[in-house]
Amino acid sequence: MNVNRESTDASDMYQLPAKFSMDNLKALQLGDKLSTPIERRYLSQHVKRYPLDLRAQVQRILINQDQTQLAGALQDCFIALKDNGLKLRRELFEHSKAKLSDEDQDYFSNWLNSDFASAYDDRFVNGSVLATGLPEKSETLITAPERAETTYDSHFQEAVDCLEYGQLDKAQELLEQEVINPDGDPRAEAELLRVYSYTNDLESKNRLRILLEEQGRALSSDWAQQQQSANSRVAN
């Protein structure tokens, strides 16, 4: 049987999935090899889970310079930083400005000259994974009595309630956000480690540990102890 193998690249067999090839990739400007729909989708998912991973935010904006999702990627960075990182937000906007529509240019330009509460008007920009989902500023259609305040003071407090009701995935996500935040509740770290121990989600734990170490964060000895315990279970 004559089989034509000329068009086959043997290296394709060993191409790692995006989560392995892009996790903790330090370069901000990714090359053409990583500028594919799969890699862009991976960065979108990563930013949705870790909005304060600024390296991933910048990588995603740069990798989308010629894509329709550029404005949405930029919006996600603005949403994550809120009133912080003005210099970074301004530099990313100036870098992307020529590729944005006139409407989007006005939107982000006004945002840079205002605060988060005034500038973020609930609208959804194509490509965003953090926006609330409205195509334009929401308007009140029916006047109703004001609802009692039900917001939490921190992700940690909300996560504790989620744990009480068995919502482990939601609790883990909230605790991860609280741990990433340098000003977050210090109790969140121990609680998150307990969740990781229960769910055995070593992949998420290791990814977060590396991210925190790269931010220069001092981690408690419990991270290493849990890792040693996990390795021992695998060995046995």
Per-residue DSSP letters for 85-148? Answer: -HHHHHHHHHHHGGGS-HHHHHHHHHHHTS-HHHH--SB--TT-SSS--BSS----SS--PPPP
137 vs 213 pLDDT, higher one: 213
Closest CA to 209 of 224, 231, 190: 224
**Mean pLDDT of all residues belonging to the chain:** 75
For residue 56, the model assigns a pLDDT of 86
148 vs 105 pLDDT, higher one: 105
Judged against a pLDDT cut of 80, whether residue 224 lies above it is answered with: no
pLDDT digits (tens, 9 = 90+) for 89-141: 999 999 999 999 999 999 999 999 999 888 888 788 888 988 876 545 544 43
Number of other residues whose CB lies within 10 A of the CB of residue 154: 17
Pick the range with the lowest mean pLDDT from 4-8, 177-181, 190-194, 212-216: 4-8
Pick the range with the lowest mean pLDDT from 45-59, 82-96, 124-138, 175-189: 124-138
What percent of the chain is modeled with pLDDT above 90?
A: 17
206 vs 21 pLDDT, higher one: 206
Kindly state the tokens that stand for 230: 């996990």
Kindly state the tokens that stand for 72: 């949405």
For residue 205, the model assigns a pLDDT of 86
For residue 212, the model assigns a pLDDT of 83
Contact 112, 90 (CB under 8 A): yes
pTM: 0.54
Distance, CA of 59 to CA of 89 (rounded, Å) = 13
235 vs 30 pLDDT, higher one: 30
